[in-house]
Amino acid sequence: MWQEKRVSVVLPAYNEAANISRAVGEFREIDSIDEVLVVDNNSRDGTDQLARAAGARVVAEARQGYGYALRRGLREASGDYVILAEPDGTFVARDVVKLLSYADEFDLVMGTRTTKELIWTRANMGWFLRIGNVAVAKLLQLLFGGPSLSDCGCTLRLIRREALLAIEPGLSVGGSHFLPEMVVLALQRRLRVIEIPVNYRGRVGDSKITGSRLTTLAVGTRMIRLILGYRLRSWIGRWSGRPRSRLPRPGACSLPSRESTDA
């Protein structure tokens, strides 16, 4: 618990047997964390069994994709504060306390992996990735009037339950470019958003998203298209005179039950 609020950590997992037990254990050691939820995204290496043995609650997401796994975790998590993280060893579990320290004042607290002093020696954050992350984040910041942003793809983030209720109906991305959509929807809903520096370590195993420069470019391109698409639709709606669609206010809707699945 954190200030009498229940805290859930969501770990999306696809063939993460090499580090899932350690990751679950590290997050469970943090006193303020009440639940570690692993979303098994069709792993074939026993990730789900290892996660359960380590003390996590495990749910399955059949639709393949990083975004689908995270969306499933957001729906299934029971916490008042829901934290997204990774099971690959890149994040330091104690950094969730940094996020929680801002949770009373902000609806969405995001980590940034671009602070040089917190990038570990073996971390996959060379100049190419670092500049790309900053550039896409600044594009989002400029187009949507956001706070200072420097990382468009950091999974480590916290969202309050009320804010999740507000943006969840608009979430649509199932692929690896999911994270910017959360930010766009939060800014459109005028939620309180902040970004803070977090540690970034070398991962265990190969990255499914930024394992090569080619896949990094592809993901970055999809993120840019997503951001521009949201902005263009908003402008077209204004010019055509049609009322802009509004997301539900916090508390005006509820998430599907844990037993439900996406249509």
pLDDT of the chain along its 263 residues, tens only?
A: 999 999 999 999 999 999 999 999 999 999 999 999 999 999 999 999 999 999 999 999 999 999 999 999 999 999 999 999 999 999 999 999 999 999 999 999 999 999 999 999 888 888 888 999 999 999 999 999 999 999 999 999 999 999 999 999 999 999 999 999 999 999 999 999 999 999 999 988 665 555 567 888 999 999 999 999 999 998 887 776 655 444 444 444 445 444 433 43
Indicate yes or no: pTM above 0.95: no
Identify the residue whose tokens are 């639940």.
35
pLDDT of residue 4: 97
pLDDT of residue 204: 85
pLDDT of residue 238: 74
| CA atoms of 97 and 33, how far apart (whole Å) | 9
Right CATH for 7-240 from 1.10.3720.10, 3.90.550.10, 2.60.120.10, 3.40.50.10490:
3.90.550.10
Q: CA nearest 226: which of 163, 167, 176?
A: 176
In the numeric block, which tokens belong to residue 235? 């402008």
Q: CA nearest 109: which of 127, 148, 83, 136?
A: 83
In the numeric block, which tokens belong to residue 18? 């090499």
pLDDT of residue 240: 66
| CA atoms of 260 and 97, how far apart (whole Å) | 31
| CA atoms of 119 and 130, how far apart (whole Å) | 10
Domain ranges of the chain: 7-240
DSSP-derived secondary structure letter, 191: -
Task: Say how many residues make up the chain.
Answer: 263
| CA atoms of 155 and 151, how far apart (whole Å) | 10
